[in-house]
Amino acid sequence: MDARPPALLALFTEGRTRFTKLLDQLTAADLTKKLAPAPNSAGFLIRHIGDVELLFAKNVFKLEGVQVHASTVAKGHDTGEWTDLAALKAYVQESADTLRRTIEATPDADWDTVIETKEFGRKTKAEALGRIVTHTTYHAGQLALVLKYGG
């Protein structure tokens, strides 16, 4: 393996820092905050990030042994159930660790392999990695606004 996968791992890690820094500041009381009229709470956003990261590892990158019950995706809306701070932090730590393993397990030559999904069409694995990194940062931005201005 050459230097490319460690570079992609660094990109993933750095791209996720806005999210991880928010996690360090969270309190349990923050999890029910919403920014009206948006329907999603802070707890929902955190769980959703973990759900989608695990879905990418399993379905997009085909990492063996990944178990995921993407409840935010399946339910499609915030049900108010994502209020256990310790459980949410553990879940998104698991999703990050799983994506790290995925990046490390992908040989250099496979990053140019084209994959296809119904959600975003045809992309190389490298482009798909960009997609999940930007998905996480997009929702981290929403989470930051909810934490700052939500009630």
pLDDT tens-place string over residues 2-61 = 445 688 999 999 999 999 999 999 999 999 999 989 899 999 999 999 999 999 999 999
What per-residue confidence (pLDDT) applies to 5?
61
**CA distances from residue 46 to 2, 6, 34, 73, 123 in whole angstroms, order as listed:** 33, 26, 13, 12, 26
What per-residue confidence (pLDDT) applies to 139?
97
Class of domain 4-24+38-149: mainly alpha
Q: What is the mean pLDDT of residues 123-137?
A: 96
Distance separating alpha carbons of residues 34 and 149, to the nearest angstrom: 8
Query: What's this model's pTM, rounded to 2 decimal places?
Result: 0.93
